[in-house]
Structure 1
Amino acid sequence: MARWISLINLRGVYTSPPLPIPINCDGAMTKITWESDAPKNTQVIIQTRVSFDGGYHWTEWRNCVNGGQIPEINEDTGLYGASIVYRVLMQSKAYEHKPVFKSVTFYFEPVLVFDNKGDLPCRPEIWITKKGNGDFSIVNLTHNNEEFKFNNLIDGETVFVDNENQDIETSLAVTYRYKDFNDNFLSFPVGKNVLRVHGIADIKFRYQFKLLQ
Structure 2
Amino acid sequence: MNWLQLGNLQGISTSPPFTVPLQVDGALTKVSWKSSSPTGSKIIVQTRLSFTKGADWTEWRICTNGGAVPDLSPTDKVDHLQMMYRVIISSTDYAAVPVFEEITFSYEPVIVINNTGDMACKPEIWITKEGNGEFSIVNLSSKAEEFKLTDLIDQETVYINNEQEDIETSLASTYRYSSFNDNYLSLPAGLNLLKLSGKAKVQFRYQFKYL
TM over 0.5: yes
- Answer whether contact 1:53 1:81 (CA < 8 A) is retained: no
> Contact 1:129 / 1:203 at 8 angstroms: preserved in 2?
yes
Specify the code of the residue in structure 2 equivalent to 1:140: N
Query: In structure 2, the residue corresponding to 1:173 is in which secondary structure?
Result: coil
2:47 matched to which residue of 1? 48
The residue aligned with 1:162 is: 161
Question: Match of 2:207, SS?
Answer: coil
RMSD: 1.9
Letter in structure 1 aligned against 2:190:
G
Distance across 2 between alignment mates of 1:38 and 1:178: 54
Q: Deviations over 1:148-205 (max 9, x none)?
A: 1111222222211111111112222222211211111111222222211111111111
Question: Is the partner of 1:189 in helix, strand or coil?
Answer: coil
Equivalent position amino acid for 2:80 in 1? G
Q: Which runs of 5+ in 2 are unaligned?
A: none
- 5 Å-filtered alignment, 1:51-200, equals 51-200=50-199
TM-score by length of 1: 0.87
Map of 1:3 onto structure 2: none
What is the CA–CA distance in structure 2 between the aligned matches of 1:8 and 1:152, rounded to whole Å? Answer: 64
Shift of 1:72: 2.2
2:144 alignment partner AA? N
Counterpart of 1:4? none
Q: In structure 2, do the counterparts of structure 1 residues 103 and 8 end up closer, same or farther at CA, with 3 Å as the change threshold?
A: farther
CA distance in 2, matches of 1:31, 1:82: 15
Give the share of equivalent positions with the same residue, in percent.
52
Equivalent-residue separation in structure 2 for 1:135 and 1:97 (angstroms): 50
Measure, in 1, the Cα distance between the counterparts of 2:54 and 2:171: 47
Residue identity in the other structure for 1:146 = E
Q: What is the number of equivalent residue pairs in this alignment? A: 206
Q: Equivalents in 2 of 1:146, 1:125: separation in Å? A: 17
For normalisation by structure 2, the TM-score amounts to: 0.88
2:41, 2:132 → 1: CA distance?
Answer: 53
